[in-house]
Amino acid sequence: MQRAYLLSARRAYERAASLRARTDLRPLKASDPAARALTDFVDEPPLTVAEDCALDEALDQMFRLGVRAFLVVRELTVVGLITAEDAQAIDGSNATRVAERMTPVSDMPAIDWQTVQESRVRDLLEIFEGAGVDHLVVLEGEVPDRARVRGLIHRNRLERRLYAHAGMI
């Protein structure tokens, strides 16, 4: 069964940097609630890109906005995730569009919002290490085949905030 990941219509913002709330970059401890590591789309508009967008344009927008990933959307439905690494990959293909390099929803690493609420930062680190991924999409929803994208957890950002607490940076 194919899941549908949706963006809330009231949260479908343009990618203008002026609309973005300031991401929480306070230091984290391993014992902190996992939700503190979340880029929460309730507070901060999600950054999205259309699946037919040119890869170089998507990459340019990422660098301009200072982010490493976009949700890939078709209308208000999330169809994938594209990272800067995906966009820059040299794989012998002649890919020119986001849809050709994105991680499709069916393969997108995701975690349930309820699990995030019950977890600690140390649990997220274990998940990232075990899954070998750099981003986790946080899903919220009660219907089995439809979920709303609540937020995104970035491994590198989490680790920077954790090491900042430890005085390592």
Q: What is the CATH number of the domain that holds 36?
A: 3.10.580.10
Per-residue pLDDT of the chain (169 residues; tens, 9 = 90+): 456 677 764 444 444 434 444 556 789 999 999 999 999 988 888 899 999 999 999 999 999 998 889 999 998 899 999 999 888 887 778 889 999 999 999 898 999 999 999 999 999 999 999 999 999 999 998 666 778 899 999 999 999 999 876 654 4
The pLDDT value recorded for residue 14 is 41
SS (H, E, C) 103-156: EEHHHCCEEEHHHHHHCEHHHHHHHHHHHCCCEEEEEECCCCCEEEEEEEEEHH
- What is the span of the domain harbouring residue 100? 4-165
Residues 6+ apart with CB under 8 A from 42: 11, 150, 151
Alpha-carbon span 3 to 139, nearest angstrom: 11
Quick one: tokens of 56? Answer: 């170089």
> How many domains does the chain contain in total?
1
